[in-house]
Structure 1
Amino acid sequence: MKRITIGFIPLTDAAPLIAAHERGFAAEEGLSFDLVREVSWANIRDKLSIGLFDAAHMLTPLALASALGIGHVKVPMIAPVTLALNGNAITLSAAFVRELGELPEDPVAALPLFAAAIKRRESAGLSPPVFASTFPYSTHNYILRAYLAAGGIDPDRDVQLVVIPPPLMAGSLEKGLIDGFCVGSPWNSVAVDRGVGHILAPSSALFSRIPEKTLVIGDTLAAGDAGTLRAIVAATAKGAAWCADPGNALELAAMLSAPHYLSVAAPLVLRTIEGRLIFTPGGPSRSVPDFIRYDVPGAARPDAGRYAWLYAQMVRWGQTRLDPGAAARIAALIRTDLFDAAVGGDGAAADADPIGSILEPAFDPADLAGYLARFDARGLPKSRG
């Protein structure tokens, strides 16, 4: 067995890697996955960059930024498997919900309440609301920004944005350090079950095909034996397919709940896997279509258009400048040839709008300049409604 050391953060979108190990899919490919739990995305990135990890469960935007050298030293890597689509939510503290008043079911309809609460705080000489995401280069940051911007709220002026690791989100909300957050499951549901959080918007209600996490492979392993690369991709894809089967949900929830993985109660994990979310403490569960997706190849095969949207967010929010060569660099990162060789087939049909925009007009990855022209210098839509 060839040992592959893989760093991960305790989130339900690490499930394909955990299932590949626990269900023997890695062993079938002649591999032993040594899964190492970490607390922060910076640790994941830095340990991969210096070779302490062979591979990692990583925020998809962080993989893209690291490979392009945006915001940090350039870290050579490849990202041949998407571990999950969606799985995030925006959650608010009970105190901030009281400030807003009765929340409508449609999260977009709540935006005027946000704007009014911000103005009240400003008029009273109080600090602006504080919202957390998990990393500057994360879907959580971009979803939160896009949501606020859709209501004319400037995320860099009207609120304070901070970074907190996923497992610490619910505790930060409970202590009153933040007014809300955007994070991956199960941590939104943890906050609700503790009675301190109210889920406002699952990410799939705003963008239905966001590439949340990816399997990244460091440069040493990526430049090595092609057979090992194929085996890693195949084992991970088998794990993803197993996770996507509804008949395995109970077993998967029990597996993920283990202390060395998520250390969260299995019934709560099961709700997030099945997309049955409780939005308010003590409230009923509601079905959320496509809350988290592991399906193969639809979710698991890397999609250049989805990466193009992430890159566009980096440009929109001032993290980098538009580079005409970005598409070629994305193709070199995602290596769809490795996925297709390991899983079979010759590619999947691309969606016209790869991220399934609901909050915004459809995204065309062939026209990044046109997409960016919709926004002003602050990243806010030039026209709303």
Structure 2
Amino acid sequence: MKRITIGFIPLTDAAPLIAAHERGFADEEGLAFDLVREVSWANIRDKLSVGLFDAAHMLTPLAIASALGIGHVTVPLIAPATLALNGNAITLSAAFVRELGGALPEDPVAALPLFAAAIKRRSEAGLSPPVFAATFPYSTHNYILRAYFAAGGIDPDRDVQLVVIPPPLMAGSLEKGLIDGFCVGSPWNSVAVDRGAGHILTPSSALFARIPEKTLAIGDTLAGGDPDTLRAIVAATAEGAAWCADPANALELAAMLSAPHYLGVSAPLVLRTIEGRLVFTPGGPTRSVPDFIRYDVPGTVRPDAGRYAWLYAQMVRWGQTRFDPTIPRRIASLIRTDIYDAAMPGLLPPAEADPIGSILEPAFDPADLAGYLARFDERGLPKLRA
């Protein structure tokens, strides 16, 4: 039995790894997954970098940035399995909802003029701009917030203040009035609502239909080692993801994830997030959110180069790095689809013209990164079209 030490953050998108361990899929592959709970993404990256973790549940943009040496020293790794699509939401404090007029429209785009008006009122009164939290600079949460504000002509670097807070601390920060809103993965949006501290503005899937939220990052030592071990790790993870994707397993999965050493959140709340039945306002009814979080095989788990290319384009768009035309080739080396294909032979997802499915922006063409980036000005805001 080969032991594999894996770091994770308490989020529902760690479920494929947890299920692989708890349901015996890792055992069947001759592996023992030792899952280590962490509090911050910096810890995850750094412990993977120095070899304290063999692998990790990691923000997909962080895996890209780490492998490419963007914003940090290069961390040699590969990302041969995506753990989940979507699963995020933007949540606002009760006080900020009152600033917006006391009720949120169901269409998040319709709320953008309300944001702009509230920001203007604060500015005219000499008050600080609203503060919104993401979980890390290289995160889907950061890019979702930025793209959302930009769609309403709001400059995320001037008109609001963006800060970084680890996922488990988001709800508490909202409760204490330290921030006006946040974007984070489940279950922490629902935790804020159940505490009466937050109102969900929108799930991320209502803005972008297929964002690769987390990846299985494998460190240098394992990545350069025995190919059979790599295949076994990916196979166990994919089997765990497929088990999580089966609605018949939702009750058991919720109970599993709710354990104190995993999420430490009540099973009924976790169940709502798994099933996409969200409560948007404290004491309000549940609303069904199709594809709120996806674990399906192969559509989710097999890494999609186009989705990774979109995340890289966000790094360029928001000034985190300069455009490099060699990136598509380097992404192919990062995601190593050959490992997935060896682990799950014959399970290939259908091709998609737009891998992201943006509601906020025109369709994304991975073959034309330069054309995509040309749509935005130097601040990352959409260019006005004649």
Question: TM-score category by the smaller chain?
Answer: over 0.9
CA shift for structure 1 position 213? 0.1
Q: Percent identity?
A: 88
Q: Which aligned pairs between 1:13-24 and structure 2 lie closer than 5 A?
A: 13-24=13-24
Aligned letter for 2:190? S
Counterpart-to-counterpart distance in 1, 2:326 and 2:360: 28
Q: Structure 2: give runs of 5+ residues left out of the alignment.
A: none
Counterpart of 1:163 in structure 2 is 164
Counterpart of 1:199 in structure 2 is 200
Give the conservation status (yes or no) of the 8 Å contact 1:148–1:154.
Answer: yes
Q: Which aligned pairs between 1:12-161 and structure 2 lie closer than 5 A?
A: 12-101=12-101, 102-161=103-162
Aligned letter for 1:230? R
Counterpart of 1:331 in structure 2 is 332
Q: Structure 1: give runs of 5+ residues left out of the alignment.
A: none
User: Is the partner of 1:61 in helix, strand or coil?
Assistant: helix
CA shift for structure 1 position 346? 6.7
Segment of structure 1 superposing worse, 15-24 or 219-228: 219-228
Cα deviation code 1:215-261 (max 9, x no counterpart):
01001011111111110000000000000000000000000000000
Aligned letter for 1:39? V
CA shift for structure 1 position 384? 7.7
Give the conservation status (yes or no) of the 8 Å contact 2:26–2:32.
Answer: yes
Counterpart of 2:344 in structure 1 is 343
Counterpart-to-counterpart distance in 1, 2:108 and 2:262: 32
Q: Which aligned pairs between 1:269-308 and structure 2 lie closer than 5 A?
A: 269-308=270-309
Cα deviation code 1:51-108 (max 9, x no counterpart):
0000000000000000000000000000000000000000000000000012111000
Give the conservation status (yes or no) of the 8 Å contact 1:150–1:384.
Answer: no
Aligned letter for 2:314? Q
Matched residues, number: 385
TM-score (norm 1): 0.99
User: Is the partner of 2:169 in helix, strand or coil?
Assistant: helix
CA shift for structure 1 position 347? 3.7
CA shift for structure 1 position 344? 1.1
User: Is the partner of 1:47 in helix, strand or coil?
Assistant: helix
Counterpart-to-counterpart distance in 1, 2:9 and 2:348: 29
Segment of structure 1 superposing worse, 172-181 or 98-107: 98-107
TM-score (norm 2): 0.99
Counterpart-to-counterpart distance in 2, 1:305 and 1:97: 36
Give the conservation status (yes or no) of the 8 Å contact 2:299–2:348.
Answer: no
C-alpha RMSD of the superposition: 0.9
Q: Which aligned pairs between 1:263-274 and structure 2 lie closer than 5 A?
A: 263-274=264-275
User: Is the partner of 1:90 in helix, strand or coil?
Assistant: strand
Counterpart-to-counterpart distance in 1, 2:16 and 2:348: 20
User: Is the partner of 2:299 in helix, strand or coil?
Assistant: coil
Counterpart-to-counterpart distance in 2, 1:171 and 1:128: 20
Counterpart-to-counterpart distance in 1, 2:14 and 2:105: 32
Counterpart-to-counterpart distance in 1, 2:385 and 2:349: 34
Counterpart of 2:2 in structure 1 is 2
Q: Are residues 1:262 and 2:259 paired? A: no
Counterpart-to-counterpart distance in 2, 1:252 and 1:80: 24
Counterpart-to-counterpart distance in 2, 1:374 and 1:62: 24
Give the conservation status (yes or no) of the 8 Å contact 2:87–2:213.
Answer: yes
Counterpart-to-counterpart distance in 2, 1:367 and 1:61: 19
CA shift for structure 1 position 383? 2.8
Cα deviation code 1:9-45 (max 9, x no counterpart):
0000000000000000000000000000000000000
